[in-house]
Amino acid sequence: MAIARNQWYVAAYSEEVGDGLLARTICGEPLVFYRTGAGQAVALADRCVHRRFPLSESNRDGDRIVCGYHGFTYAPDGACVAVPGQTRIPRTARVPAYQVVEQDSLVWVWIGDGAGDAAAIPRAPWLSSPDYTTVRGMEPLAARYELLVDNLLDLSHETYLHAGYIGTPEVAQTPITTEVDDEAGVVYVSRRMKDVECPPFYSESTGVEGRIDRWQDIEYHPPCFYLLHSRIAPTGVEPGPDGDDPRAFHVEVGYAIVPETETTTHDFWWVARDFALDDERVSEFLRENNRTVVLQDVTALNTLEKVIAAEPEGYQELSINIDTGGLAARRLLQRLTAAR
C-alpha cells in the first residue's frame, strides 16, 4: 500500500527537538528539525540546494543553518540568506519548509501540499497532564507501517507473543466489538474482560492481587495515531454513576505509527498512568516492560516483512472475527491513499 499524503504525522517527541539538528525521514522525505531561540520547532528538507549535503550534518548560527559543505545559509522558513563567494543569492536558493504543530508533547509535521488543518490533529492530553506520569520511547521497525497497524488493532496476539508480560489466555478468548466512524475516519475496538488473570505488567505496577476486570478500548485515527484506553480494577469494581472511577487504575497506552519509507517505520510508544505518579520504581518497571513488549512486536513484524517481500503475488490471507478492527483500518487507509 502506498503512503498517505496530505496528512499529519508525528515526527518527534518535544524533548527530541532542541538546539541540535535532528535528522528524521518521514514518509520518504528526509527532514531536519531544530528549535529556534524563541522555542519554535522548525522542519526543513534535509538537503542543501547546492550539492545535496544533509543540513542535519551541518551547523547552527543562531536560528539559521549553515551547510557544513559549502556554507549555504538557511533561515527557518527555508530561504537561503547567504552563499559563498558572491552577494547575489539565486532566486531558487531555498529548501522546502514544513508546517509544524506541537501539542501534547508531540511534534507533528504536515506531509503534503498546501497547509494542513491543525484542528484535525488527534489529541493525547495525558502526555502533558499533571494527573498522569508517562514513560515513552521509539523503536525502528524494518517493516511497512501497515503491519504495525494490523498488530495493534488485534490484541489477541498478546496471549501468545507477550505471555509473561501483558498477555493472558483471556485476551485471545474474549470477543471484540468493532465500530467505525466513517465521517470522522476513526476505528473503535473494545474488549471487556471480567474476572480474569492479572498479567505481571499490571500486577507489579498497580499492586492489585488476585483476579481483575480488564478493559481494552482502542481508537485508531488513520494514518498514524493509536490510543489504547486500559482500565484495571479488582473483579466486581465498577465505575460510579457519574463516571468517577477512583478504585480502578487507568493506563493510556499510545503509538504513533509513522512510515519512514514504504518498508520501514518509526514505532513511537508511550504509557501514561494515573497512579503511583511519583514512584520512579513503577516508572522504570513500565518503561522496561513496555519496551520489551514493543521489541517482541518489532522482531515478529521484521520477520513478517521478509515473508511478505518473498511471497508470490496474489497470496490470499484468511481473516476471522478478531480481524474486524484491522480490516476496517485497512479500508480507511486505502481511502486516504486513494485521495492523495
Give the model confidence (pLDDT) of 91-128 as tens digits: 999 999 999 999 999 999 999 999 999 999 999 999 99
Judged by DSSP in three states, 128 sits in helix
Q: Write out the three cell numbers for 194.
A: 471480567
Confirm whether pTM is higher than 0.85.
Answer: yes
Q: Which long-range contacts (CB under 8 A, 24 or more apart) does 154-160 make?
A: 154/322, 154/323, 154/325, 154/326, 155/191, 155/216, 155/218, 155/228, 156/322
- How high does pLDDT run on average in the chain? 96
Give Cα separations from 283 to 97, 125, 197, 273 (angstroms): 37, 19, 22, 9
Strand spans (E) along 59-208: 59-61, 64-66, 73-74, 80-82, 97-98, 100-103, 106-111, 133-141, 177-181, 186-196
Q: What are 132's three cell numbers?
A: 498522569
CA angle, 249 as apex, 215 and 185 as ends, to 5°?
45
In this structure, the number of other CB atoms found within 10 A of the CB of residue 131 comes to 11
pLDDT band for 339, please (50, 70, 90 cuts). Answer: confident
The confidence score (pLDDT) of residue 340 equals 60
Per residue in 278-296, pLDDT tens?
Answer: 999 999 999 999 999 999 9
Bridge partners of residue 97, in order along the sequence: 44
C-alpha cell at 210: 488476585
By C-alpha distance, which of 145, 147, 148, 122 is closest to 26?
145
